[in-house]
Chains A and B, each alone.
Chain A
């Protein structure tokens, strides 16, 4: 990794994928709608965290380039 921004972007992409796999796992492993909904919302939360981190990564890169 070259810069702090690049590291953030990589972690962010992994978080996006992790959130998606959390949602898939909830569908496969859980039975009730309530439990599934809770885990799907948690998975979406992880994805939003990933999005926020990705944005932060690009802001960092912009600052480094100035």
Chain B
């Protein structure tokens, strides 16, 4: 493991958060823009504190202390058992092991922030600040640490070769651990908070509520690219032992998959609506980054383009299906962009990855087991948590708040004080 390369890569990760924050506030309404950015900061802050104090103990590290049991002839390592408050980690860098643990804590502390801000996009314009902080704590304290342990911390998903004779589940850039976990949390939040007022008519027909600043959204895509390169590189170096040469491949693959995703979305929307849709194209860019991250250091550039192309096409259709057919109000498309593209990326790793050992069938099987754990365990866990939190701290703002906008309702001032006129302010209440 190259610690300098890893540390430099980790330092780029906050740019992914900055990019995603710009994207989801730009895709929301102007009357909730300041709220969206403050919610991002709060989600990052709460998740970092909760993760370092509690979550990191359960996320654990490969080879570290863990809760485990034996059943069916297999050893099930299901939860880390490190010290709370990060007491067991020495920051003097005296040994390679100490340095690796400190880097793992640093990387996962920033990664869990990304997990926490993904659902903000789905709850845009109606999710209150207090419940956002509680939901971020839930993600950082319980949900993320469990799945991070299973796949990065020496848990059962990363020990399937020993226990079951198939390949280990692999997630090099966090497509599952970060993106799918965040995307499933976004789906849960969209359900719990319900659609924005006026989004669906009594007949269930959706109304278009366009984002207020597409320029910020597109700039956010470029910022996110830099952050994603850091994220993919750091996780590849830290958890999979990637060297300098492989990191160069990671950078090339990240750029190619994002480009393919964006161009696919441009082409599909151009073909369907006669003109390219900037919002969906930005979603295609991020979907390419998400899907490409799973196999970032294990595929050829051509395969990275293929992965991005499929993600870009998938996301344009799925955003429409979620809105028109499934009546899920997800203003930023977080479910399609993060959850579905992440799942595609995990499966694509099995399909296109270069493996030193094990059959391709075994690798595909391992990836499907990981996807099953995400859908069958993580989704019920995060949804039960959100339903419970919603009982004590209602997620959805009241009707007056919906009419005023989240900025005025929760912060007392708008993001753009010079532009205070909204079309529906003339509609009688």
Identify the closest chain A residue to B375 (Cβ): A47
Q: Mark B156-168, 1 if CB is under 8 A from A, else 0.
A: 0000100110100
Set B73, B166, B327, B362: member contacting A59, Cβ < 8 A: B327
Query: Is A1 an interface position by the 8 A CB rule?
Result: no
Using CB atoms and an 8 Å cutoff, list the residues of chain B in contact with chain A.
71-74, 160, 163-164, 166, 191, 194-195, 200, 202, 204, 326-328, 359, 361-362, 364-365, 368-369, 371-373, 375-377, 379-380, 383-384
Residues of A contacting B327 in the complex (Cβ-Cβ under 8 angstroms): 58-59, 62
Tell me, rounded to whole Å, the shortest Cβ–Cβ distance linking B221 to chain A.
28
Set A27, A51, A62: member contacting B375, Cβ < 8 A: A51
B361 to A33, Cβ gap below 8 A? yes
B191 to A20, Cβ gap below 8 A? no
With A13-B383, A28-B74 as contacts: A62 and B365 at CB distance below 8 Å? no
With A17-B376, A28-B72 as contacts: A59 and B326 at CB distance below 8 Å? yes
Residues of B contacting A50 in the complex (Cβ-Cβ under 8 angstroms): 375-376
Residue of A19, A23, A29 contacting most chain B CB atoms (<10 Å): A23
Residues of A contacting B365 in the complex (Cβ-Cβ under 8 angstroms): 33, 36-37, 40
Using CB atoms and an 8 Å cutoff, list the residues of chain A in contact with chain B.
13, 16-21, 23, 27-29, 33-34, 36-37, 40-41, 43-44, 47-48, 50-51, 54-55, 58-59, 62-63, 66
Tell me, rounded to whole Å, the shortest Cβ–Cβ distance linking A48 to chain B.
8
Sorted nearest first, the 10 A-B pairs with minimum C-beta distance are A20-B376, A28-B72, A23-B372, A47-B375, A19-B376, A58-B191, A47-B376, A27-B164, A40-B368, A13-B380
B73 to A28, Cβ gap below 8 A? yes
Residues of A contacting B163 in the complex (Cβ-Cβ under 8 angstroms): 27
| CA of A58 to CA of B204, assembled, Å | 13
Tell me, rounded to whole Å, the shortest Cβ–Cβ distance linking B123 to chain A.
15
A selection of 7 A-B contacts at a CB cut-off of 8 Å is A17-B377, A19-B372, A27-B164, A33-B362, A50-B375, A58-B191, A59-B326
Set B194, B369, B371, B377: member contacting A62, Cβ < 8 A: B194
Residues of B contacting A13 in the complex (Cβ-Cβ under 8 angstroms): 380, 383-384
